[in-house]
Amino acid sequence: MTDFPWLTLAIALPALGALAVALLPRERIETAKRATLGVTVATLLVVAAMAAQFAPGGERLQFTEVYPWIPRFGVNYAVGVDGIALVLILMSVVLVPLVVLAAWRENDDAPDGGKGYFALILALEAMMIGVFAATDVFLFYVFFEAMLIPVYFMIGRYGRGDERRAAAIKFLLYSLLGGLLMLAALIGVYVYGDTFLWSELVGDSGALAGIDPTAARWLFLGFFVAFAVKAPMWPVHTWLPTAAGSSRPGTAVLLVGVLDKVGTYGMLRYCLEMFPGAATWFIWPVVVLSLVSIVYGAILAIAQSDMMRLIAYTSVSHFGFITLGVFVMTSQGQSGAALYMVNHGFATGALFLVVGFLVARQGSTAIADYRGVQTKAPVLAGMFLVSGLAGLALPGLSPFVSEFLVFIGTYAFHPVPAIIASIGVVLAALYILWMYQRTMTGPLPESMARLRDLSRRETLAVAPLVALLIVFGVYPQPLLDVINPAVEATMESVGATDPAPAVGHAEAGGGHGEGTSGGHEGEHE
């Protein structure tokens, strides 16, 4: 059934569900919650059925659909997935129903009882699937920008604290600025390529093959800055801690766990493959920015007194690892980066949810307001520990595999960035273990005497993520089998090759292999 419109169905289900939930009467909030959960589970089943038919060794893009949308300007409704897009869509549809479960009572104090919040979740899910599935660059841009609308209201209307509206506006302004730069670059792509179809723009015979090198670099920058804001990457990261700190935990999971991956996915899919020569020219500046993000994000995470903001800053550091893996132009680095996107979504999602359950009990996100939680809530503390250890890439948990691959790929590119990046690993152990020690250990204060452990619903929301962290930590091969062919195709499209082993270079009297793609000088910029 590969000709069946799986992706369109996966996008339409939550989109129609959002409309149905929004039209329900205000007093039907329980019906709205059940309907939202039912639609997200149905979407998960549809995507799982599609994924079961994906052939890793088959065509690069599968389940493709192309229909004219605005023929006069060459715009099509075009969707399809390769291995990287598929695993990111799977990650998204796994996280959304768990967020719905976790947020079941999260917005009971809202004027509408949270009905609008659940409608926004469904609308956002449709757009998340669409942005990863789009194979028309204009369609990608539409989904990329449309995602801002539900997130803005999820933060500004349903967020926490007095600063939530300011946080929502800051998120919107940063994202719109990046989006405007992408729009300008998108116009340039059409001027030079006369098409928006991604498959017709990339490769040696693609529409952008003969583009002027200077023009290619400017177009690359337009896309890259937009993706760097979304990722977020230093120095355009400052909206994330503010937005995450003012969000409900469920919103933070989708914001950091899924939406930010659009930025790193866009770098891998669009920056590298549409402008391979320009991407090669910018390798070292991006590597330096990635290293700054890794160390700077980790240091600021250590300094935080607010748990939500701490987790947000850890993500700045983690996204530095992802962008580093993307731009070292090695197969191990890019496979690790793609796998890191998935593993980070599960690990950070679990950590945000557990912290959210803790905050719901005590009403504070301040680390100083907690102590001795493990004595009264051992299940909550255990989930917190596993999620935190995944965040510091403990061997046996899935983020370790992806981080290890990034390190291997980076070292093959050049040893110095790999050594500097290792500082982030040391700092990660410090900010995670110190947060756990301050909140979970020690004597229980009287103010927390009535603290209760996770309920059955809350456990059901977090347990699948913890299970996935363990399963893919022990056996990541199913994900890598899907990701690796897409990475190989990306490397071929960019004209990059893995450096020769260092031993071989030594025997030949050469250097250590600082280059990553011996044939880049003759690129088709």
DSSP for 171-226, written as a single string: HHHHHHHHHHHHHHHHHHHHHHHS--BHHHHSSTTSTTTT--HHHHHHHHHHHHHH
Q: Is the peptide bond before 232 cis (omega within 30 degrees of 0)?
A: yes
Q: Is position 434 within any domain?
A: yes
- b vs e for 53-79, b when ≥16 Cβ sit within 10 Å of the residue's Cβ? ebebeeebbbbbbeeebeeeebbbbbb
Going residue by residue through the chain, which has 525 residues, state the pLDDT in tens, using 9 for 90 and above. 667 898 999 999 999 999 998 888 887 888 888 999 999 999 999 999 999 999 888 888 899 999 988 888 888 899 999 999 999 999 999 999 999 988 887 776 667 667 888 999 999 999 999 999 999 999 999 999 898 889 888 888 877 777 878 888 888 888 888 888 889 999 988 888 888 888 888 876 777 777 888 888 999 999 999 899 887 888 877 877 788 777 788 888 888 878 888 889 999 888 888 888 888 888 899 999 999 999 988 888 888 888 888 888 888 888 888 999 999 889 889 999 999 999 988 998 898 888 888 888 877 888 888 888 888 888 988 998 999 898 888 888 988 899 999 999 999 888 999 999 888 888 888 888 888 888 888 887 887 778 888 888 888 989 999 999 999 999 998 999 999 998 888 888 877 777 776 554 444 444 444 444 444 443 434
How many residues does the structure list for the chain? 525
Name the one residue in this structure whose structure tokens are 């290890």.
Answer: 404
**DSSP codes joined into one string, 70-87:** EGGGTEEEEEEE-HHHHH
Say how many domains are in the chain: 1
Q: Is position 228 within any domain?
A: no
SS3 364: coil
What DSSP character marks residue 270?
I
Q: Is position 368 within any domain?
A: yes
Q: Is position 308 within any domain?
A: yes
Q: Is position 215 within any domain?
A: no
Q: Is position 410 within any domain?
A: yes
Q: Is position 162 within any domain?
A: no
Name the one residue in this structure whose structure tokens are 């899919």.
Answer: 269
Q: Is position 386 within any domain?
A: yes
Single pTM value for the model: 0.88
- Structural domain boundaries enclosing 289: 282-501
